[in-house]
A and B are shown apart, each in its own frame.
Chain A
């Protein structure tokens, strides 16, 4: 089975802190994604990566950056956390190829910024 793991289930940080959310997948997938999930808004794509060191902005990239130095690991960085970044963050991965839309999700990290 595909396994996507996220470094923390719950995280509490202070406003202005630099925050790292880590995601690791074990299926050699080319594509990795970061979403945030908020009540009533569903999942919104922050960034995705289609190869090592390659990234593209999603729908809501402001206030975030990402890093992908190894194929299996994709990090989401909040340079200076703010209270409006309190949310559930979900990581996903998928293989490449024109029909490879199925994404495999991690359990999520619930981040609270105080």
Chain B
């Protein structure tokens, strides 16, 4: 069965500093990978996705992620964090069950940004 691990429960960075959130997946086939962000009191918003092709994918709000098959990783990065980036971030892997495409989520990483 597929699974996603986000090893960091909570990360604190200073505004303007760079950010990397870790994500490791376990899946037997070619993975479809996603990063979602959840701002306080809100639903989840898609940041970016990887299906195939270029292993470095660009997303919204200046985020990018790199797929590394050899490491089973899909880490999220941002060169310079803004205070508004404080939120919870979820990595997910997509699986087609035969009836629908489902997502399996990691447990999330909460990002705190200090000014």
A-side residues, CB < 8 A to B, are: 4, 30-31, 33, 40-45, 48, 50, 54, 56, 58, 90, 92, 94, 96-108
Contacts and interface: CB of A to CB of B under 8 A. Distances in A.
A43 B101 contact: no
A5 to B, nearest CB: 10
Nearest to A110: B41
Contact of B101 (A40, A45, A100): A100
B57 to A, nearest CB: 13
Interface residues of B, number: 27
A101 B101 contact: yes
Contact of A40 (B9, B34, B100): B9
Contacts of B36: 105
Contacts of B97: 56
B43 A106 contact: yes
**B interface: dominant SS:** strand
A99 B106 contact: no
Given A40-B9, A105-B45, A45 B107 contact: no
Given A102-B46, A105-B44, A50 B100 contact: yes
Given A45-B103, A102-B49, A103-B103, 20 more contacts: A30-B100, A41-B107, A42-B106, A42-B107, A43-B44, A43-B105, A45-B102, A50-B99, A56-B99, A90-B43, A98-B96, A98-B101, A99-B51, A101-B32, A101-B94, A101-B101, A103-B44, A105-B36, A107-B43, A108-B43
A102 B50 CA distance: 11
Contacts of B100: 30-31, 48, 50, 56, 94, 96
B34 A101 contact: yes
Nearest to A95: B101
Interface string B14-51: 00000000000000000010101000011111100101
Contacts of B103: 45, 101, 103
Contacts of A40: 9, 107
Contacts of A30: 100
Contacts of A90: 43-44
B67 interface: no
Given A99-B32, A105-B43, A42 B51 contact: no
